Structure 1
Amino acid sequence: MNRQSGFTLIELITVIVILGILSAFALPRFAGLESDARSAAIDGLSGSVRSAAALSHSMWLAAGNKPSTVTMEGQAISMDATTGYPVDNAATGIARSLSSVDGFNSAAGAAGWQFTAVGAATATSCMVSYVIGVSAGEPPTITVTNNHNNSGDCQ
């Protein structure tokens, strides 16, 4: 008796069909990773903005609450004379106090400084905004707008 080992054509086609069905269900899960990564980057950027503002404020306090600029890593950061935090209306403020904002555009917005995600379906649905306080020592308001879970705009 002569037996051959291996797969028949029917078995091979069955395996290919099963793999096709599994990949049809798995692909949408992997396709959503880009928006998840962008959401994580926004959350990370908001933490960096908070840290940069606090560090700049600490340096301003250590310098005697007077300077209009503080120097961080060789960069002159424009400070608000009232609050002692980086200004929110110039590229020499909070944006300069961050070492890198790759993946984000930054510019003055309607209220304060805004960092918007590059490639988002709607930029204003995927951003971090920095608005300086108005009274002495009042910390800035840092708002994260991340509509990834609601409307998918942060994709």
Structure 2
Amino acid sequence: MNKNVAKQSGFTLIELVIVIIVLGILAATAAPKFIDLQSDARVSSLQGVKAALEGASTLTYSKAAIAGKEKEASGQSVDINGDTVELVYGYPKATATDIAKVVELSTGDWTISGSAPTLIYASGGVDTCNASYSEATSTARPTIVVNETGC
């Protein structure tokens, strides 16, 4: 007796369920890494703003030093791209107006506010996630700090 037994091909229901469960576990472990990218992007943007502030303050100091205005605590100014920038020991004064003159940030994306220190944060973002610019002193450069709290 020779019987032809038809062979089945495909996956069983149990195999399909196991694959779905494994994919679900992988998605659950990978999702938090992708969700946290927004916070990392905000911090990276603020690090870029910090670098721009450092570069702008150094260039302003260079211009002030060439003009011999780098040693005064107040009352001095330099011309940057046609705008008068007030100086504190040769560096930009920590006012929203003076910082906006030396660092070109998109007004729709960034907000500059306050004075001593001046805070810069993403428009529509969290106010506690910011970069701060504190004025120079007679012995130290301006302090530029990124506050990542709440990012």
Question: Which amino acid letter does the alignment assign opposite residue 57 of structure 1?
Answer: Y
Question: Which amino acid letter does the alignment assign opposite residue 30 of structure 1?
Answer: F
| CA shift for structure 1 position 120 | 4.1
Q: Percent identity?
A: 35
Q: Which residue of 2 aligns with 1:150?
A: none
What is the TM-score with the length of structure 1 in the denominator? 0.75
Counting matched residue pairs gives 141
Is 82-91 or 99-108 further displaced after alignment?
Answer: 99-108
Is 30-39 or 55-64 further displaced after alignment?
Answer: 55-64
Question: Which 4+ residue blocks in structure 1 deviate beyond 6 angstroms?
Answer: none
RMSD between aligned residues: 2.5
Question: Which amino acid letter does the alignment assign opposite residue 112 of structure 1?
Answer: P
| CA shift for structure 1 position 119 | 4.7
**Distance in 1 separating the partners of 2:42 and 2:31:** 19
**Distance in 2 separating the partners of 1:119 and 1:90:** 18
Given the superposition, is the C-alpha separation of residues 33 and 75 from structure 1 closer, same or farther in structure 2, using an over 3 Å criterion? farther
Residue 43 (1) aligns with residue 47 (2): yes
Larger Rg: 2
| CA shift for structure 1 position 87 | 1.8
Q: Which residue of 2 aligns with 1:128?
A: 131
* Match among 33, 37, 47 for residue 33 of structure 1: 37
Residue 69 (1) aligns with residue 78 (2): yes
Other structure's SS at 1:68 match: strand
Given the superposition, is the C-alpha separation of residues 112 and 77 from structure 1 closer, same or farther in structure 2, using an over 3 Å criterion? farther
| CA shift for structure 1 position 84 | 1.5
What is the TM-score with the length of structure 2 in the denominator? 0.77
Q: Which residue of 1 aligns with 2:142?
A: 140
Stretches of structure 1 that go unaligned for 5 or more consecutive residues are 148-152
1:112-155 deviations in whole A, cap 9, x for unaligned?
3110234544x12x1111121243x75222222222xxxxx11x
| CA shift for structure 1 position 27 | 0.8
Q: Which residue of 2 aligns with 1:104?
A: 110
Q: Which residue of 1 aligns with 2:119?
A: 114
Question: Which amino acid letter does the alignment assign opposite residue 55 of structure 2?
Answer: S
| CA shift for structure 1 position 52 | 0.7
Q: Which residue of 1 aligns with 2:73?
A: none
